[in-house]
């Protein structure tokens, strides 16, 4: 497929210049370059500015309620593990109401790609503080500055034993495409936390702010198989902000642990079970 073939014809309603455009374009390029059959790709999105992404890319899409991207994506993967399942969530979606699901999907190593659109603010509802807002950040719900410690997505992923942990930057399309390609073929749970400015409601964490601080881990002598090194870099935020793959380790996935799933997907199996007696017990 050409890149143009991924267009759905839907009118994009993001703000002009929104960094979600970069994420969408990078995902299209990644799917095209690794030649994934689009009929076998499913995207699941939650509530937030990112949520409409399932309307803008010509693959199977499922738009769910707030914080429930991962349970839905897990269910899809278990029903048919031959599908490539991609979850999209905002920082509020992923690390607020969805944080419990995040920890369990990571430790179970469910083979899905989880893309978190992290702009440190609630953009869709006009600029309130989010779970990842930085201490001191002034928003509509923190006019005197945020005083709560922010969620650290990379540290959370490492603590939950995620097998593939990465951070992307919406201002680095080339790196973003490569991260997506690696995550989409990973045989386990892969999270890519994308730092991206909200150009409408955040005048602090801007594109210039990130460009002056972001650096690629792959440009230095960094070993992404070293868990302790990953933990150390996870807390690096300030004058320098690392992007790239922090950590990855191969281990059995959630679907591989089920003997029932090893041969065929559930949708291809025939279950001849008589549940009439069970139904009578509940009547």
Q: Domain spans of the chain?
A: 3-281
Condensed to tens digits (0 to 9), the pLDDT of residues 172-202 reads: 999 999 999 999 999 999 999 999 999 999 9
pLDDT given for residue 198 in this prediction? 95
pLDDT given for residue 267 in this prediction? 85
What are the φ/ψ torsions at residue 216 (nearest 5 degrees)? -90, 130
Place domain 3-281 in its CATH homologous superfamily. Answer: Thiamin diphosphate (ThDP)-binding fold, Pyr/PP domains (3.40.50.970)
Q: What is the pTM of this model?
A: 0.93
Condensed to tens digits (0 to 9), the pLDDT of residues 35-80 reads: 999 999 999 999 999 999 999 999 999 999 999 999 999 999 999 9
pLDDT given for residue 58 in this prediction? 95
Using 70 as the pLDDT threshold, list the residues of the chain that sit under it.
Answer: none
pLDDT given for residue 233 in this prediction? 97
pLDDT given for residue 163 in this prediction? 98
């Amino acid at each position: 497929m050409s890149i143009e073939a991924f267009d759905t014809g839907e009118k994009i309603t993001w703000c002009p210049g929104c960094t979600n455009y970069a994420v969408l374009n990078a995902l299209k390029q990644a799917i095209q370059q690794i030649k994934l059959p689009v009929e076998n790709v499913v995207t699941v999105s939650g509530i937030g500015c990112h949520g409409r992404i399932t309307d803008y890319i010509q693959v199977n899409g499922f738009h769910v309620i707030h914080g429930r991207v991962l349970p839905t994506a897990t269910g899809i993967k278990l029903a048919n593990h031959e599908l490539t399942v991609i979850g999209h969530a905002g920082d509020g979606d992923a690390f607020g109401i969805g944080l419990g699901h995040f920890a369990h999907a990571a430790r179970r190593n469910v083979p899905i790609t989880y893309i978190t659109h992290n702009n440190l603010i609630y953009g869709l509802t006009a600029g309130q503080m989010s779970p990842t807002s930085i201490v001191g950040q002034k928003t509509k719900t923190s006019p005197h500055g945020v005083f709560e410690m922010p969620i650290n997505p990379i540290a959370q992923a490492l603590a939950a034993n995620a097998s593939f942990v990465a951070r992307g930057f919406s201002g680095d399309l080339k790196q973003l495409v490569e991260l997506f390609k690696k995550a989409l073929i990973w045989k386990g749970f892969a999270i890519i936390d994308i730092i991206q400015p909200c150009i409408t409601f955040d005048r602090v964490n801007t594109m210039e702010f990130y460009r002056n601080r972001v650096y690629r881990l792959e440009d230095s002598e960094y070993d992404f198989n070293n868990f302790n090194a990953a933990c150390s870099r996870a807390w690096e935020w300030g004058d320098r902000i690392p992007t790239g793959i922090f950590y990855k380790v191969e281990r059995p996935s959630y679907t591989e642990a089920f003997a029932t799933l090893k041969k065929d997907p559930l949708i291809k199996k025939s279950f001849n079970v008589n549940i009439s007696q069970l139904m009578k017990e509940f009547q």
